[in-house]
Structure 1
């Protein structure tokens, strides 16, 4: 419907007017104002919080350079550094970045970080590069902007999750800032601070690192392990040392029971002076043998792998001491480190060890201590009760161990627990010692790994740490290594390199190596044999007994009798098999001097033999002859093989004069005596057994050889310094008495030549020593001139060199060769001369007539006719003769 209001005009005119607006120009100041406010706010925010810190020392602080750091990040910067008005401290104005202003609380602590090194450790190494800086430890309380800095910062900063513990002690001991906190030997924290409490005790703040905080329980106990703790008593000196670090800077240890709850937040604990005072550990019940001497509560240590892990905490003495002494066992308790709980099993052993020798001390804890307990690993189920065994019983329980008995006349300083060694290696131990009136018996154990070294020939010798022997040999001092000084015990010697074999149940124990090798088990040595001698040689008690120059014994004693001396001889047991019924003994000369034209040959025995003397023996005689001590080896060799040489006088004859055959000594003159009835001299000569049968024959010749000077020169120079008797063997029957002849130089030249006998009516132009010539060459000499038994002929004995004996044949002819010949005939005068010796002493020549058949070689001592003139046809004799092989 359309309604129309007639009162309203249907048309109106528009009125146009202008709108008033603010000019855009005025917006610019407003925008600038807003921007300024934003910039001011940003600048204010970037400047952070302005704070003031007062330091006692401002070393290393530089305005606009020294940073303020927290947990390694820079959170501020030093703006100004000035002195306070009283000039006693340094005022530092700094800005803290806005994002770090939350740490600015009343309890916040500031300090300067600079490089430092001490026993507690090294800190501030980053300051070496960037210079000193300021750091802080956030605190609690209201916001603050003024602070007083600490003189030094804490050693360890408390990080998120770390546990702060307060320990209360009577004194600080050796603990320092930075000292370590140990839990089962593992460092788990450090000492952060210490101060006095209101009751004048010491409060020590320690920080436990967050990864180890779970080990601190409500029933944990802390104790001081700083420095060295020593306790001297009648059992010895007990020294407790934990580690080098604990000695230098101190340390604290703690343990915690497994069934206790963990602590939450800061907690206070007492700090005990030692683990003994803390009485913290695992209780182990033990059963001890009746003998508890040397054991002391809270003192006797417990070791595991050379580390002390506990102590004897309690001995149940009971009320009646008499009952204790009659009880076979005693109950006690050990307090050990809980860390070894897993090692306490039914197969484990707890051994009561005796006082260790100094050689066995492996650490200061064991130095000069008394008895101690040793825990030995084993298998089985966990247990807390053990029956303690003695150290000796432990060895006896070893599988495969060899148990021996050693006997000796005295203890030799050997005690129970000392080692048995072979070449410096411990192979066993002495487990007990029983001293009786006449002997000492040791019970010994050889470890299974070394029992193959023990057999019937094994020797056991007391270990001698120091020996001094003053004798004619000089001063002999034997000093073992320092370890041997401390160790003692017994050494094992093997007579041969062979090992294995069945061991004996009992062995003798020798005092030293020489007694062991000699088989001497006591100081009262029985002689092997007693020798008799008419004259005492240069020997004395202790002189050596030699077998082919090998020392095999010694002289025990010398006893004089009315007409002789008894010499007691001991031969070492290992060499007694060399002594037989055929043995003969003789005195050894300290010095043997041989004088000849080649020089003086001196053979001297070792100094010990020169000073002490010596005798020798060898098996060279017959049964029943070994009780005589002969003066020389030659006398011993020739005993029972004597001959008698008869001479007109004793000129140049001496005792000990040698008898020689082809330069080899075959005997000596032992005695020279006068035969009053026959007015002659008899020389008794000892002949070596090997030559006696060949020499004691009819036809043997004995010639005294001395130097001879004649027109022919000087002969027998080899006898110039020492005359001798030359021997030539005969072929007749056995006889023991011979005539001693005296030889010239020429005779001696062919002393062992081929003998022949020439017969002549007159020997006026001949003399002993005159040459025998063959074709002008000297091949022999006259050895003797004598009448035959009927005195109607003269026998001229000649000797030819052995290499020329083949020249004499059955038909050879001999004639006088005086050295010159004169033949006057129609053809003129023929005058021939020989050597000067021929002219003075004459000579003999021989030759063999020529023939188609060569006659056999002449025999020894064959007789030939000596012609006075040379055969006329001999000039045409050219018969040759080859030597026979």
Structure 2
């Protein structure tokens, strides 16, 4: 076996030079770079922490509540913690880019809360996010901030700082004497128009100092003569003089605020360091003359007791001082009335009286006395003695005797009244010698004794309030005071009669003397007639313009028409003419409308049976005098218009009105269904009958209508439908008409014109859709109908009078209903529309060419165009 030689082969490796670094080693470097950048950004934008101490943290939230300045968010609350038992510490992270403006000495912080009132709404965003923190920086320029010292701990303010002043405004100082109804942002009004608001409030030295911001454009309204007064709905003052209530407007009750009045428009401006005085009442600014009044007994007189002259307030009592022998009242009279303070003038104490006849001294709801001045010319004087108004006997007074069966509630304090004015009083009373009646000694003051003569009648005002006898109700009422204290009334019959007797009979009620008064009266008899369809009564009163002018003397019954004899008092006979008529006036009248309920009650003597009223409004004469059952019945006899309708749904007899330009000029008196199934409506015209009874006058039903454009006659949805009227210019008389169901059915209207437009294609138009000219509404669509053959749509367009000259014979009408959507990949999406109303209801656009033709008339018909040329906005004719 041959021996083989085995040789080991070793290969030499290929060596290549690595010329670049692998990409994988760059990735860690990129990551490190990003982390470094993020860390840098986080560090630089971390912000600056400041802390503010507030009294409470109401509605502040960690991580939510922002720090703001003029609506810009500068930071956010990061932490809220208790500082001590009376305050909280709020940590705020301020954005780094504004930190130098915030964390600087002098910066003010306060909590902003929402404000909602009738005059201002602000901070509504806080309703969802909670309250905000507002700041006001001390400095205004960058140079000031470069030199400012940093500060990181602050004490928050309770309210918006007084330093927060707007350079575009005018500021005035106001001093309030302890008034606690004024807060920051309380509005300041001039003639009920807001011209500013209270910007700050500060309490020191027991007084309230206010600063008011006045808008720049209104600062001319404020000068030295300006007066600032609180708006109050109700002012209450109670004292010995009674309870004084002063009621302001409902507006002041809701809004409140301060009102400024400037009587001298060209007065100088007030200096910035001077203060206006905030008053509770503008009367405090009126100049006064001070006086002293001496009383032996205050008798209910106290601070704020009124001083009156002829029912007008001329002053008040300021203070009362008790001396050893008398009471001195410090009082004042307004400067313009100081002529009343003469040496011959006297002051009297008068009692406030409340009765069903009325309220004397309405300012005092609770009984209280007041002062009156009896003025006589003389030299000026500033000190007076007050004279009690109760009457004392003097030598020239008249003493008479009254005889009565029963004294009732008459006492020595009872007074004698004439037309509810005291003219005397009861001095004494005693039984007659035969013990059958009572003798009353009565004093009549000297200046009134000429009212007493042989025909004078007296009755007891206090004997009975109500008496029912034989189903006849007698109401004896002349006021509360005579019923309580007793009272006697004098009834004047004939002032020219002689006076000789000293004794008179005292009747128990006014009804007893009423018949005698009529018997004593002079006058004439008048024969009248009525149809027996209503009740008349002997002695029933006849009135004219709220004055009794006579009474029913007798009634002679007849089956057809009864004859009534009237007695007319002599001084009123001159008002009776051939044009006179009479109607029975209801005792109670009720008239309801959206404006409220009118409730009228006639005088008490006719409460049960009403009275007869004389009417002289007719322009025509009558063959004899007639009495009608009511005012409406009388008017229906002459001033009635007949209107024929197809349907009168909603119309109500005696309630529906005839309305012309918003004024009720008549009412529906009767509704009748005719044999032709039409409805005949009788309308009574109150006045100006000739104006509405003309040929061509148009009547239509004013039915309720609610649309996007308008709300009309909405009251008719609750109350009866009314009838509208369009007056004709013609002169021919006419009182029978055919009415329209609505205003839309009328071709001619009093404030515009109807233009006919025809469309050959379906439209999206609706009634009341707007009609535009250069995007200004000039009318609306009144009615839409199909033509007789159904080939086109006929559109009646109402054009207002002031725009109808824009519609020419060559004008074009275009349908702009809905909206158009254009979509393109390259140019995007474009939506064209006119108004939201035109989307829902449709609309028309009118274009009149530069070379326009004559004015369109109601006889012209225009063809509706579907497309609108793109250059229509450039067509701009000057139309005259």
The answer to whether TM tops 0.5 is no
Q: TM-score, normalised by structure 1?
A: 0.37
Q: TM-score, normalised by structure 2?
A: 0.38
In terms of Rg, which structure is larger?
Answer: 1
